[in-house]
Homo-oligomer: A and B are copies of this chain.
């Protein structure tokens, strides 16, 4: 498996990353091809698709486990790894559908893909890019197993003025999406505990109490 591209975005660490593609729809990322794959013709026709698949490698994989504890279930119920999108798989491959916002010339990088809604950490290696084909990939009637029985609960978000002022409107919108989904480790419910989050070059602190997450600049 060869790395054909890497993703670039505002998340230098795993902490705070959306737990699934599409959960932070306003998060922009850039897909930069490795020099050997900066071939404009290889993208011909891709501009007609609104969504694409990224097949990528979990960085910092720590081996696999037959069962895992999905955050969605509160982190205390074990499910089979093949019934989840957990990173602890035999082959640590991730699969994400993202919106293709544009294909742009980016200096020495050649053509790059601008995408939104990705759940990949900055620098993640990408192994393949495929068009999302509605005819083959959309199953509107698909049942969602244990996931549907545990809908994501969103928090209210309260961002301190100095933090809000340090971010562009679009980055602020993304941070709101990220925080609303409660980025704490699933097994921790320690009201008022402070967590640190690296985002867009800033060090951010946040705490959750009741149904609200408060965030401020460190």
Q: What are the residues of chain B within 8 A of A55 when measuring CB–CB?
A: 55, 91, 93, 95
Q: What are the residues of chain B within 8 A of A134 when measuring CB–CB?
A: 139-140, 142-144, 148
CB within 8 Å for A45 and B1 given contacts A85-B133, A131-B85, A138-B140: no
Q: For the complex, would chain A's binding face be called helix, strand, loop or mixed by DSSP majority?
A: mixed
A187 adjacent to chain B (CB < 8 Å): no
Q: Is the CB of A139 within 8 A of B90?
A: no
Give the interface segment out of A34-42, A159-167, A171-179, A206-214. A34-42
Q: What are the residues of chain B within 8 A of A191 when measuring CB–CB?
A: none
Copy tally for this chain in the complex stands at: 2
CB within 8 Å for A80 and B44 given contacts A4-B90, A130-B85: yes
Q: Residues of A with Cβ closer than 8 Å to B?
A: 1-2, 4, 20-23, 37, 39, 41-51, 53, 55, 66-67, 78-85, 89-91, 93, 95-97, 127-148
For the complex of A and B, list the 7 residue pairs with the smallest distance between their C-beta atoms, beginning with the closest: A48-B145, A45-B83, A44-B80, A42-B66, A45-B79, A46-B83, A49-B145
Given contacts A4-B91, A22-B135, A45-B79, 18 further A-B contacts (CB under 8 A): A2-B90, A20-B133, A42-B80, A45-B80, A46-B145, A48-B83, A48-B146, A50-B139, A50-B143, A51-B139, A53-B95, A55-B93, A96-B136, A97-B139, A132-B139, A134-B140, A135-B144, A135-B147
